[in-house]
Amino acid sequence: MNATSVLTNTTLLVIGGGPGGYIAAIRAAQLGIATTLIEGDQLGGTCLNIGCIPSKALIHAAEEFEKAGHYTKGSALGITVQSPSIDVAQTVRWKDGIVAKLTGGVAALLKKNGVQVIKGWANIIDGKTVEVKQEGAATQRFICQHLLLATGSQAVELPNMPFGGNVISATEALSPTAMPKHLLVVGGGYIGLELGIAYRKLGAEVSVVESLDRILPAYDQDLTKAVAVSLQKLGVKTHLGCTVQGLNQNGNAVKVKNAQGEESEIVADKILVAVGRRPRTQGFGLESLMLDMAGRAVKIDDQCRTSMRDVWAIGDVTGEPMLAHRAMAQGEMVAEIIAGKKRHFMPAAIPAVCFTDPEIVVVGQTPNEAQAAGLDCITAMFPFSANGRAMTLEATEGFVRVVARRDNHLILGWQAVGKSVSELSAAFGLSIEMGATLEDIAGTIHAHPTLGEAVQEAAMRALGHALHI
């Protein structure tokens, strides 16, 4: 050990202060476990700093600006406004203020619960020893009983178009200094479309290049149709079945090849590459542990144990689904297992939400997934066009869909597309986790007028007696 190093002992050492890491640390400390959390950048991780939270802030600002623009020509509501303008720098400051408040809140919670937080970059020596380099301070070496990997993920970079200059990731896209004239989005998944739609509403011309033949390929087409229609209305140009070949010689356009092999160029002053994320497994000595891997991800069991005793892993570093709420649930569970509780990570369903316009939420099995599993199911859909609250929100596009077993009516899945349907995800998840049947949902009194009534009506329709359609 270096003579300038400081040796510290701790029971649980967490590498990574994102949603999974900080939740694990807080819960462990609550249970009386001596806990140290190592974070090299900002507490809150990708989700809080450069992902979930700032993107939703930007999306909200874009929606409000676009809404104001609609009122310049009057509206059915009787509202007329003068031509609106937007100060993008102020929008970014507002977004940053929300992030700062939340990261400050995380820091306060960690301190309140007695977690030792070390700002520095970790390097794993072995399964019990981690060295941390801090700027302007002596190197610290930690000896731990339990090591928890919560290092998250990072944006995938294209070999023929690396990040830099006008080629940006979601991180840069969330802090624009000004609106580009033309934003080209590489990747038609949820990250690319969420940000592409926001930029379009803020005034930029937007084009999307997707290698597959449709947008949002992870979602079924019944759900994505409404988003495709919205893109067309907004004027977002989509180039489907096309692959990006790289920048042209001048660097002001992207070379694109279609399915027939024909090449063309799309001029753009900003290129957002959003082709996915990969587990963050390099740069901190993880290879020294020689853990079993699942592709690029760390392999874990249903308790988030790795192949090495007392080394745990949670969240994006363990692969799909890369969702903050999955990481948080895993982190809480690991802390409780270390404290002696008997827990296993076996959720009945994990909600997935796409914050496009309109929003999409999927919880549990889709009709196609249930069919592929050999299950005989009932599927029923209730449209928002028949929902009173949706009418008052001027948001009648979309629907709620339920999937249930035909023999015992056990609910297997929910899907919805429409305005604010992300808020229905809690009800969807709860019904599946508690083993609800169609009769349970149909017999539960839902408040009127709410979008949630469409949940009840979908269940009633599956039973053959919908009342409002």
Provide the annotated active-site residues: 448
Question: Quick count: other Cβ atoms within 10 Å of Cβ 116?
Answer: 17
14, 146 in Cβ contact below 8 A? no
Tokens of 348: 């009945």
Task: Round the CA-based radius of gyration of the chain to a whole number and report it.
Answer: 24
Q: What are phi and psi of 10, to 5 degrees?
A: -150, 155
Q: Is 119 helix (H, G, I), strand (E, B) or coil?
A: strand
**Count of alpha carbons within 13 angstroms of residue 420, beta-carbon side:** 12
Return the closest-CA partner of residue 13 out of 113, 133, 115, 135.
Answer: 115
DSSP state, residue 455: H
Q: What type of residue sits at position 202?
A: L
Pairing of strands 129-133, 140-149: antiparallel
Burial 388-412 (b: 16+ CB within 10 A, else e): ebbeeeebebbbbbbbbbeeebbbb
DSSP-assigned states of every residue in 133-150: E-TTS--EEEEEEEEEE-
* Spatial separation of the C-alpha atoms in residues 105 and 88, rounded to whole Å: 26
Q: In what order do the strands lie in the sheet with 270-273?
A: 167-168, 270-273, 182-186, 205-210, 237-240
Return the closest-CA partner of residue 68 out of 85, 51, 50.
Answer: 85
14, 38 in Cβ contact below 8 A? yes
* Spatial separation of the C-alpha atoms in residues 13 and 269, rounded to whole Å: 44
* Spatial separation of the C-alpha atoms in residues 410 and 404, rounded to whole Å: 5
* Spatial separation of the C-alpha atoms in residues 437 and 460, rounded to whole Å: 11
